[in-house]
Structure 1
Amino acid sequence: MTLFCCKISGLRFWVICGALLVFTACQDNSSSVIDFGYESSSSLTLSLSNSSDQPSTPRKLDLSSSSSRVPVVYDKDPKFACSDSTKIFGEFTDARDGHVYKTVKIGDQVWMAENLEYNREKYTGESKYYYSWVDAVGGIAAGCSGDDGSVLYISDYVYKKHFVYDGVTFQNCPIARPARGLCPDGWRIPTTDDFQTLLDYAGGSKYAGKYLKSTTGWSGVGNGLDCFGFNALPSYSKDDPNGLFEDLHILTDEPKALYMSYENPFAYFTSVTTYEASGYVVRCIQGDGNYGLDLPIDRAENTYTGSFESFTDTRDGHVYKTVDIGGWVWMAENLSYGSKETYTYDEMINAPVTGCYLDILIWGDDYGMWNYCAAEYPIQGICPDGWHVPSSYEWRVLSAFVNGLSNATNFAEGAYTGPMLKSTSGWPDGKNGLDAYGFGAKPLEGKDQVRFWSSTNAATTWDWFGNVVLTIGADSARLKTDEINGSYEASVRCLKDDDSQKRTSSSPSDFSIKPDEPTTYSGEYGKFTDERDGNVYRTVDIDGTVWFADNLKYEVPDALSFCNCADTTSCDGRGRLYPWDVAKNACPAGWRLPSVEEANHLLMLAAQAKYDLGGFERTERFFKDTVGWKYKDGYNTFGFSAVPAGEMFYRFDSLSVIDEESCNVPKGYDELMLTGWSVSAGYWVDGENAKGEQAYLYINESGVSEFVSWYPTPPNTFKNYYRAISVRCVKD
């Protein structure tokens, strides 16, 4: 009998752990000088053998004292005092190649203070600091015996989607944990526990990036304080001619990485591909690690042969087969209430849930709270009384159990969870599963995947409303937040109610980084009266520079200007639009156009605000006024109060008379720019680049210049159309 320890923890991200004959929870050897009161559980032992040895009684996954470590969540930035005295450096020479690494002690851990460079040319050619997860963790000499006695390297399995099976035979070759991987003697690849200890010591996931990132090398405002000497630099990219990249992925001994970005101070875990290099680096931690792979494990004919129970849905009399998996009772068939095979979100959720779900789905911008609201589970949805739609946490529990893991902090992604849950028939191209626990997941006829709803919602990448859907495909299984629209449908598997399932979306294992709320300007505005025409303007001090908080309205005598695109018959509401040659002399005495440096400083302030809020907000919303925009109003964080006055395009005939003008877009170019009168705001800036192109600051519904842009004036690039935009004056 082969024994194998597997210990994982961390945030809600993907994990793969190999099939094992016996699993026991590893002792956590990492520690911190700060006691955060983590809980640990007794070990979980799960015996897996062939079908003739199936246990007669259900096995229970004990979740009452999970072995997963609960991440520390700081409500406020701990604001560490950073000085060289906090950094305890040393040196280590890698005997394999003579490379000398700087090391640093952080709490009770000793880390390399530089990324591993051993043998990287073998794996990555000319690119820098590039390893695939397989190369970094599995090692160059790690192998398992194949059926014919040949040695199979872990990459052979990975390139074959991690597994080889034909419906009755499944083989797996798991890595040894903790893994030494490519690290030298006395060092190893960090586990997620190792990294979580580091993050907790450095202020928690919400702030640790700020204190672990290097003080130089990151884009924009993304540099850190490097309080502890970890010196986390952004990865190098083989595709970028300058070599610099804006993000960092440090590999763990699971198919995960500790991720940091130039966009925010966060440090958290994310999944990684296992079969290619994608900008991943290695930081070794001091400690003993196992090298290579465990002994090969053959799993044969493990199809479920245990008993099924039945349940009758009193609503329609339909009888469902049910099965006990790890002490929780699942329907072993898809719900077919209403004679349907799949359901829309509205049909699945069935009823509003007070405080979290909207009564009616609104396809707009008012559901950002969904990612953080705490709904009490279980949520019945379309399931019959006594049953409910599984949450993402409950799908993780299922994946943990079939993988033999001792906790459900992560979803065990990929080629192992799928075969264990997939039916032994009905899948195309020989991709049938083992159905080791009687779950019997099967796609609809003609399909190669099956999707299951959860009762857990989250915002998608673009902040659209989404649901955390379990997708089991021909070669993988994963939890993924899919954007929901009216035509999106998925299957439903109901789970029997159990007291151990009651939890909220804000429970520790559902931990997510919640950014702070954006602020709206609450200061006072000044007032300036233009003696030339009596117009009164608000003024605002933004980090030492006094700006107009309204667009200029002055009609320069004997010069061309236009009313704004919101109302081409009146210039009162949003000011006038000026060609460059008029704009440069349009400000009143004591005021002028902003310089390139002043405009870029304004953008830098917005970039910093975005960074501090997690990088999830669009930069333009810090400038946009809180009302008046067609699609999404702003926060007006600095009092700039940008309004969508638009831009005028015009051209002259042979007699220098305007023969055509159009607000926002010249005719024939609608496909190049957004149309409609309330989509943009542009402001002239006093400066030219080396090509003589004029600087301007441009804001629209979908973005803002990350630096002051340059516009060829005159003429512009649209068939000799000229351009007129707004003016914001700054005080001399």
Structure 2
Amino acid sequence: MRYNLYKLFSTIAVVSLTFVACSSDNDVAGGASGDAGVVAVTDREVAGVTQKGPFLVGSSVAIQELNGLTLVQTGRSFRSSIKNDLGDFSIKGVNLSSQYALLEVNGYYRNEVSGEKSKGMIALNALTDLKDRSHVNVNLMTHLTTDRILALVQKEGMSFAEAKKQAEREVMTSFGVLDDLGNGEDLNLFAGDGGAMLLAMSVLMQGDGSEADLSERVSHVATAIVNNGIWNGDEKTEIADWAFQIDAVIKKSKKGGSMLQLIRENVESWQVVDSVPPFEKYVNKFWAHEYGLGACDEKNLYEVKSNTNELSQYYRNEFVCNPDGRWSLVRMREIQSSLFEEIQDKADGEHYKVMKIGNKQWMAENLRRKSNAFNKGNDISYSTCYDEKQSNCDSYGLLYEWNAAAQLCPEGYKLPSISDVKALLHFYGGEGKESAQKLRAADGFGALYGGLYEEKLKDYIGGFYYTGIFEYLGLHEVANYWTESPAFLLRIDSLGARLDSVDRRLLGTPVRASVRCVKDEQTEAETGFIKERVCDPVDKNYCNDFPIYYTVINGKKWMTENRTNELQLVETNYEVCYDDEPWCSEDNRYDAKCSMISSKECLYSWEDAMKVCPEGWRLPTRSEWEALMGDSPYVNSQGENGIYTMYFTDNFSLHDISHWSDEYYVSYANSLGLSIKPAGYYEMGYEKVEFGAAFWTSSDSSSTDAYAFMLVDALAGTYIMKVADKRNYYSVRCIEK
């Protein structure tokens, strides 16, 4: 293998040097109009440094004499070996018939990417003019320009100096560098901008491949450049994608940074210089150039541009110009600390930017937490990358089914409520195109067009229908964010920003969308429990402490459980809720029935509902129930008992759906902590069990009727306030007086 690698590079050099155009005996290399003439080199000491990473001690180095007229090797050479692990060499007593020489180095080297010594040998060349120099460095720049210099001299008639200058400019341009950083023979990995560029080139050519991969890649690049001075194609884009990824925290360094940081740590460990030059900026310039992003400086700070390279796996992904002069994915943007803070998700260690928008703390990045914790007896994941491609997760985070999204926010954060989303839209100017542009600004919310996974629609005359086929749609075109209601999404696209409903037929299907979490402002001080002393109203000897759990909403304490039969909480001989006759107590001291979801929870007539709250608590009024709906949309409708108000909310912040029959929704936790359960109610019989609930208010409209607050569709989260017969049986929630 070592012999074959050496043979590969030697063959390239020899074949290249035989491409000599016909010339007269009076010509010198480059033509009569070029160099003044052939100059012999006499008793010269030639020294330098050999670097891919530095070649290791014992590697061989040779100077091959070239004919001054044809640049063909004469067969005369001077050889030595590398004298230390820094790649230094020195050859004394060099005598050449012309100033033109080919330097060859072959051996092992330090690998910047792996941090280890290479396991195989490579060969690098340098074509030089020794007329006015005795110091020659051999590196990737000199190697990649060697054949191109020969081609320009022999085919284009350029002088050696002109050909060398053009070849070096072409190579640097191929690596996204437009500055003149000096002659290749003067470049050193550890000195100045030229060294930074050379180190970046070394990292890019090495990649994550072996020595054989490196040799093949270098050969491909040299061949492309020798033909027309341009290196392009699939392989170059693959290198660009890898270069972007190593700066995107795809692989962590020892100090917790990116893989690019790890490479820096590797080079620093060689202890060659006190400060390794900033090669990272040239790595970034390379992939930014390949992505068509252009320069990044103070003139276009926070500008957002799309990757235009169709060969890239990040094609059409959006990048932002950061204050440090480098491009990054919008989600990885670096904004001044006055706008952003950072939190860590304790579940997986991921860090997220968060920012204050209005009076709410929002995550400014899409959720990236991976989870397979929602399986139904098989290996189904409820979260995924768009199109199952990791590059899309790198850019946009994961897409989640709603039931997974509802419990994967970092600790202290939750899915936004309908009101949260409306406040967000209001902050940015309401629904429409203007707010969409502001929501997508990189120095703000930074919404990402991460697409959606949903059922495919097919048009037909007069409408459309669902095909039953689920597919990924809308990448680079639309952002979709879950709310706490599975029936509503925040949707942002070219048409604007708006709160969109999910078609009812899609609820419960594997629809997947992005997630932005909002800080849960409910603190421990706003929730808790107190104890109430409760005694058997018949036999006062039977007493017990009765815990009352509460949550604070709009500054008022609400019980978080439906009112129960007090006798269940003390040691009595009373049996309640017989299977054959579901009364709440044997002697029927309350006019009540048990709810169908728990024998401990009772449904009361209005008159008894007014009596059952413990001391210091009372039945809420109609307006207090309505205040819980906030600014939810509503309409007045005509019902059997006259006008009633219906709230079209799809708002799940009030009720706890853990008792639903559909297992898809088992994991939901309500955001206000009121924990309304779909217990149903009793009118002419039990109704809406598992899909609705009803609560008495203290507000009556007549001697026979009172207002009731009802959850009429738990799946859609729709509530109504209506007038009801006081003889109906509804649940009771108490509020502190």
Give the number of the structure whose alpha-carbon radius of gyration is greater: 2
- TM-score scaled by structure 1? 0.30
Instruction: Pick 1 or 2: higher relative contact order, CA cutoff 8 A, min separation 6.
Output: 1
- TM-score scaled by structure 2? 0.29
Whichever structure has more helix as a proportion of its residues is: 2
